Amino acid sequence: MSGRPESIAVVGAGIGGLTAALLLSRAGFTVSLIEKRTRVEEEGAGLQLSPNASRILIDAGLGPALSRRATAPECVRIRRGRDARDLAAIPLGLSVKERHGAPYLVIHRADLAGLLLDAVRGEPRIQLLYGREARGIAEHEHGLTLSLRSERGVESKLDACALIAADGIRSAHAPSKEPPRFSGFCAWRALVPAAAKPELARAREVGLWLGPGAHLVHYPLKNGDLLNLVAVIEEKRPKEGWSRPGDAKMITEAFADWGDFARTLIASAPAWKCWSLFDRKPSRQWGNGLVTSLGDAAHPMLPFLAQGAALAIEDGAVLAAKLAPLAKVRSAPSGRKGSITAPSGATERSTEMARALRRYERDRAARTARAQREARRNVFRYHARPPLSIARDLFLSRSSGEKLLARYDWLYGWRPA
């Protein structure tokens, strides 16, 4: 196999890679999207999609598909785990739409991946290479060559003008060699059928329950047919496996001191899957030469701000915008869009590409680092013990929902330049 040397290779077809491939192709590039799995099957359950990300997908024409598959919750309701006391309600729904011009949504990950994949399949400029693992890159004067291996062990080469590593937290292609750091927490996830949903979890809301050393999040999926339930608890050592079955007895014990509602909610889950949670310290080294990274490969974060996938979507939009002028230059020799004078040699074109990749990284670094740090801080806010939890609860119950929402303006109000 040999890709066109002017095409961009995107490694990894998670939410970040799918979005980047789509937006790069819309910017005028041919794209090879390489994924080691043979099928698109997003592990996990629900995702919250805040306006900074939903706006990008809507602008890319995915609004109708999103509104068929996603739900717009009315608020985030924060409660105390011990006695179900209502502490605050941060308005979402219309308030968010009016404030930020795009909706706050919740959606099943497989539905989001599916609608992105449908859009990717509709782009003639994207070559989808499933069942191929990227195993090494060689940069040379004409660009770079990527070594691939198929699931049957067949080796091949792919030429490209740049490589985007969207291969997740354990990326083999992002330059940072710092290993992911274990957070000391594990997320337990379950999907509860509508009939088994406890009373307090029936509203079209994101529920956030706070307690010492643990928290619970739940929201409706699939038009309310399912309840997405996440319980985060402390874990001494990370366990093997990205998504492993969880022992119901263990999670029941972890919430034994919580109030009736939390315990009923935990008991309503038919089965659990567990994820030991990792992140990395913010880093500015996302790429080198003709290689850059995005999403979890560049800035893995804890899920306590619900932003990992959202920021991967933002990365795709910024990358496509920074590289767009080069798509025109690259296609100039073939005469398709040749309004801009093309740089004369391959080396010059590579230099331009490397510069554009560094501009993308500079644009993203501060924002994603802030989100990584804020996600970590939320551990202390959510899991506080007395007396800190008393101060937190007082602050929450005395703050208006609008004021609490305004604290996220920096995050949800972001727009691609």
Ligand X SMILES: Cc1cc2nc3c(=O)[nH]c(=O)nc-3n(C[C@H](O)[C@H](O)[C@H](O)COP(=O)(O)OP(=O)(O)OC[C@H]3O[C@@H](n4cnc5c(N)ncnc54)[C@H](O)[C@@H]3O)c2cc1C
Q: Give me the least distance between CB of 203 and ligand X, in Å please.
A: 18
User: Is the CB of 144 or the CB of 329 nearer to ligand X?
Assistant: 144
Q: Which of 209, 255, 275, 408 binds ligand X (CB under 6 A)?
A: 275
Q: According to CB under 6 A, which residues from 321 to 350 bind ligand X?
A: none
Tokens representing residue 289 in the block: 């030469």
Collect contacts of 240-243 with beta carbons under 8 A, ≥24 apart.
Answer: 242/43, 242/275, 243/43, 243/44, 243/273, 243/274, 243/275
Q: According to CB under 6 A, which residues from 382 to 401 bind ligand X?
A: none
Q: Give me the least distance between CB of 308 and ligand X, in Å please.
A: 2
Number of residues near ligand X (by CB under 6 A): 33
Query: Should residue 116 be labelled a site residue for ligand X when binding is judged by CB under 6 A?
Result: no
User: Is the CB of 14 or the CB of 28 nearer to ligand X?
Assistant: 14
Q: Which of 35, 111, 361, 393 binds ligand X (CB under 6 A)?
A: 35
Query: Should residue 174 be labelled a site residue for ligand X when binding is judged by CB under 6 A?
Result: no
Query: Should residue 47 be labelled a site residue for ligand X when binding is judged by CB under 6 A?
Result: yes
Q: Which of 104, 219, 360, 382 is catalytic?
A: 219
Whole-angstrom distance, CA of residue 384 vs CA of residue 387? 8
User: Is the CB of 93 or the CB of 343 nearer to ligand X?
Assistant: 93
Tokens representing residue 196 in the block: 């088994």
HSE at residue 124, side-chain half, CA atoms within 13 A, is 0
Query: Should residue 295 be labelled a site residue for ligand X when binding is judged by CB under 6 A?
Result: yes
Question: Measured in Å, how far apart are the chain's first and last C-alpha atoms?
Answer: 37
Q: Which of 303, 356, 367, 372 binds ligand X (CB under 6 A)?
A: 303
Query: Should residue 316 be labelled a site residue for ligand X when binding is judged by CB under 6 A?
Result: no
Burial of 153 (0-12, 13-18, 19+ CB in 10 A): exposed
- Catalytic annotation present for 104: no
Q: Which of 11, 119, 162, 384 binds ligand X (CB under 6 A)?
A: 11
Q: Give me the least distance between CB of 197 and ligand X, in Å please.
A: 19
Whether the Cβ atoms of residue 364 and residue 370 lie closer than 8 Å to each other: no
> Among 34-42, 68-76, 176-184, 334-342, which window interacts with ligand X (CB under 6 A)?
34-42
- Check residue 222 and report its DSSP letter: G
Query: Should residue 318 be labelled a site residue for ligand X when binding is judged by CB under 6 A?
Result: no
User: Is the CB of 328 or the CB of 370 nearer to ligand X?
Assistant: 370
Q: Give me the least distance between CB of 17 and ligand X, in Å please.
A: 5
Q: Give me the least distance between CB of 155 and ligand X, in Å please.
A: 13
How does 196-208 read in b/e, with b if 16+ C-beta sit within 10 Å? ebbebbeebbbbb
Tokens representing residue 264 in the block: 């009923």
Query: Should residue 187 be labelled a site residue for ligand X when binding is judged by CB under 6 A?
Result: yes
CB 63: neighbour CB atoms within 10 A? 15
Residue with tokens 């009923």: 264
Query: Should residue 230 be labelled a site residue for ligand X when binding is judged by CB under 6 A?
Result: yes
> What DSSP letter does each residue of 39-93 carry, written as one string?
S----SSEEEE-HHHHHHHIIIIIHHHHHHH-B--SEEEEEETTT--EEEEEE-H
Residue 120, helix vs strand vs coil: helix
> Among 75-83, 251-259, 296-304, 370-378, which window interacts with ligand X (CB under 6 A)?
296-304
Query: Should residue 168 be labelled a site residue for ligand X when binding is judged by CB under 6 A?
Result: yes
Q: Which of 112, 200, 208, 312 binds ligand X (CB under 6 A)?
A: 312
Q: Cα angle at 163 between 162 and 167, to 5 degrees? A: 170
HSE at residue 304, side-chain half, CA atoms within 13 A, is 26
Q: Which of 6, 159, 167, 279 binds ligand X (CB under 6 A)?
A: 167
Residue 115, helix vs strand vs coil: helix
Q: Which of 73, 220, 246, 308 binds ligand X (CB under 6 A)?
A: 308
Whole-angstrom distance, CA of residue 161 vs CA of residue 349? 9
Beta strands in 126-201 (DSSP E): 126-130, 132-140, 143-150, 155-160, 162-165, 181-193
- Check residue 125 and report its DSSP letter: T
Query: Should residue 120 be labelled a site residue for ligand X when binding is judged by CB under 6 A?
Result: no
Q: Give me the least distance between CB of 247 and ligand X, in Å please.
A: 18
User: Is the CB of 15 or the CB of 57 nearer to ligand X?
Assistant: 15
Known catalytic residues are 219
Report the interface residues with ligand X, using CB under 6 A.
Answer: 11-17, 34-37, 47-48, 133-134, 166-168, 172, 187, 189, 230, 275, 295-297, 303, 306-310, 312
